[in-house]
Amino acid sequence: MHDVEKIFEKMSAALPEGPVRIKEAVEAGRKVVGCYCAFTPYEVIRAAGAIPVSLCSTSEKPIAAGEEHLPRNLCPLIKASYGFGLTDTCPYFHFCDLVIGETTCDGKKKMYELLDRLRPTYVMQLPQIVSEEAVESWRHEIKLLARHLEETLGTAITEEALRREIRWRNEERKVMNELYELSRLCPPPLSGRELHLVNEFFKVGFGEEAYLNKVRELTRCLRENYEAGQRRVSDEKRRIIVTGCPTGKSVEKVFHAIEENGGVIVAFENCGGVKPSYELVDEALPPYEALAHKYLGIPCSCMSPNGKRLKLLEDLVAEYEADGVVDLILQACHTYAVESFLVHETARASGIPCITVETDYYQGDVEQLSTRMGAFVEMMGI
Ligand code: SF4
Ligand code: SF4
C-alpha cells in the first residue's frame, strides 16, 4: 500500500511556503498579478510572463479593518479581501504589481473602485448572460486585458505563448478533475476535507509542474490502494455535495460539521471545486475566442439566467450518487441566496434532501453547525 497520509502531510506542510516562494520569484524579477475570481483568464496572465495569484480572502482577521470603509452588511469574502489590502497584511497582495477584477456581483465590483486606491486595479466588464453577443463582448474584454498587461508589464503576448498556456491550464484542470472523479467510488477513497486540502495545495503551486505531479501521484496512489482493497472512508457515511459560495479556510467549519456527523463530502460544486475546472478551453478554436467561451460558461450566480449551475448540480448528484446537498451561503451574498430556492428544487427533483447553511467567516456558529449537520445526516437514515 502507498503511504497516502504522508502525501497529505507534505501537501499541508507546503501551504505556508506559498508567500516565501512568491517573494523569491519577485526578487528574481517575476511580475505578480492578483486575481479574485474564477472568471480571470489565468492563461493570458501567464502568457504575459507573470504569475497569477488568488487574493480571495478566506480569513476573518482583516474583516474589522475592511468594515472601516465598507458596510458591515456585505459578504465576508469582499470585506476580508479588501481588509487585507488596506492593512497590507496579505503577502500575496503585498507583492502584486497589478490586480484584476471583474464586474461580477455588486459588492465585489464596487469594492474594486476603492481597491484601486491601494493597488492599480484593472476591472474587466463581464457580461452576465451567455449569448453570441456576450461571448463576442467578453472576447473583446480579454483582448483588452491582454493589451493592458502588455503595456503595464512591458511585455508582448504572442499567440504561441497563449496557446502554450491554454494547453497547460487545461492539463491542470484534467489532473484536478481526475482527482475529483475518484470520489464517485462508493465509498470514496478520500474525505471532502482532504479534497479541500488538495485544492489549497494546488493554488500554492502557481502553475509549477512539481505541484501538479504531486496531485497526480496522490490520485494514482489512492486509486491503486483502493483497487488493493483499502477503504479509508466508511461506506456508512452519507454522501454530500456542497454547493454555493466559494470555499476556503474560514468555512472549513462547515466541512468539519458534515464529516464529524456521519457525512462525507464527495464533491464541491463551488468555485474552489468543480465549477471552474469541469469544462476545458477548446484548443481547436482561435485562442481569444476559446477563452471567451470557456470563461463566460462558468456558472456563477452573478449570471442571469444561471440554469447551467442547476444542470451541473443535477449531474453531480447523479454521477457521485449523492444522498444530500448542502447549500453554503456567505452572509449577505444575495445572488447565491436567491438561487437557494432553485437549488432546493433541483435536489428535490433528484429525490434527495437539501439544507441551506448561511454563515460568515467567524467561528461563533461551530456548535450550531454541528447540531444542524448532525440532524440533516440523521434524516437521511445513517
Ligand atoms: S462565485 Fe462567482 S464571483 Fe465568486 S469567485 Fe466564483 S465566479 Fe467569481
Ligand atoms: S460570495 Fe457572493 S457576495 Fe461574496 S463575492 Fe462571491 S458572489 Fe459576491
Whether the pLDDT of residue 19 is over 70: the answer is yes
Relative to the CA of 336, which ligand 1 atom is closest?
1
**DSSP label of 331:** T
Please write the tens of the pLDDT for every residue from 203-251. Answer: 999 999 999 999 999 999 999 999 999 999 999 999 999 999 999 889 9
Query: Predicted confidence band at 381 (pLDDT cuts at 50, 70, 90)?
Result: confident
- Give 300 Cα–ligand 1 centroid separation in angstroms: 6
What is the mean pLDDT of the segment spanning 190-213?
A: 97
Query: Given the C-alpha cell 479593518, which residue does it identify?
Result: 65
Please write the tens of the pLDDT for every residue from 52-88. Answer: 999 988 889 999 999 999 999 999 999 999 999 999 9
- Give 117 Cα–ligand 1 centroid separation in angstroms: 23
Residue 56's pLDDT is 87
Please write the tens of the pLDDT for every residue from 263-302. Answer: 999 999 999 899 999 999 999 999 999 999 999 999 999 9
Minimal-distance CA residue to ligand 2 atom 2: 333
Cα–Cα–Cα angle for 100, 103, 108, rounded to 5 degrees: 80
Q: Is the CB of 38 under 6 A from ligand 1?
A: yes
Mean pLDDT of all residues belonging to the chain: 97
Report whether 324 contacts 240 (CB < 8 A): yes
- Give 283 Cα–ligand 1 centroid separation in angstroms: 24
- Give 350 Cα–ligand 2 centroid separation in angstroms: 27
**Phi first, then psi: what are they for 247, rounded to 5°?**
-90, 165
Report whether 60 contacts 250 (CB < 8 A): yes
Quickly list H helices, the chain: 4-14, 18-27, 42-47, 63-66, 76-87, 91-94, 106-115, 132-153, 159-182, 192-203, 209-227, 252-259, 287-296, 307-319, 334-349, 366-379
Amino acid (1-letter code) at residue 262:
G
Ligand 2 pocket (Cβ < 6 Å) reads 75, 77-78, 105, 107-108, 245-246, 302, 330, 333, 335-336
Relative to the CA of 104, which ligand 1 atom is closest?
3
Ligand in closest contact with the CA of 271: 1
Among 245, 269, 328, which is best to mutate for testing ligand 2, by the most ligand atoms less than 8 A from CB?
Answer: 245
Q: Which CATH number fits domain 13-157: 2.40.50.140, 3.40.50.11890, 3.90.79.10, 3.60.20.10?
A: 3.40.50.11890
Residue 382's pLDDT is 56
Quick one: residue 62, left, alpha or beta (phi over 0 = left, psi -120 to 50 = alpha)? Answer: alpha
Question: Cα separation of 197 and 272, whole Å?
Answer: 11
Report whether 317 contacts 325 (CB < 8 A): yes
Cα–Cα–Cα angle for 206, 277, 37, rounded to 5 degrees: 65
Residue 57's pLDDT is 84
State the cell numbers at 153.
Answer: 508589464
- Give 213 Cα–ligand 1 centroid separation in angstroms: 27
DSSP 291-327: HHHHHHT---TTSSS-HHHHHHHHHHHHHTT-SEEEE
What are the domain boundaries of the chain?
Answer: 13-157
pTM higher than 0.95? yes
